[in-house]
Amino acid sequence: MAKGPEKNTKNKALHTKLLNKKKAKIQAEKKEHALRLKALVAKMNEQKKNEGSDNI
């Protein structure tokens, strides 16, 4: 039985590492964006609450 060419595991491992790094970066950006939005919503709710109490 003839063996085929050797598998190129080095490039495959580097590619996997690169893709994992990219996925982690995207996840971190999404989490950061969500926290920023959460803070902004809290700030706007606080402003609305303060404006409502000023009118009474």
Q: Determine the Cα–Cα distance for residues 9 and 17; give it in Å rounded to an integer.
A: 12
- Residue located via tokens 């080095």: 10
Residue ranges per structural domain of the chain: 28-56
Digit-coded pLDDT (tens) for 21-42: 999 999 999 999 999 999 999 9
Quote the pLDDT of residue 6: 77
pLDDT at 3 (0 to 100): 77
This prediction's pTM:
0.64
* Mean of pLDDT over the chain: 89
Is residue 27 classed as helix, strand or coil in its secondary structure?
A: helix
Tokens 């085929």 — which residue? Answer: 4
Q: What pLDDT is stored for residue 55 in this prediction?
A: 60
> Could you read off the pLDDT of 8-18 as tens digits, one per residue?
888 999 999 99
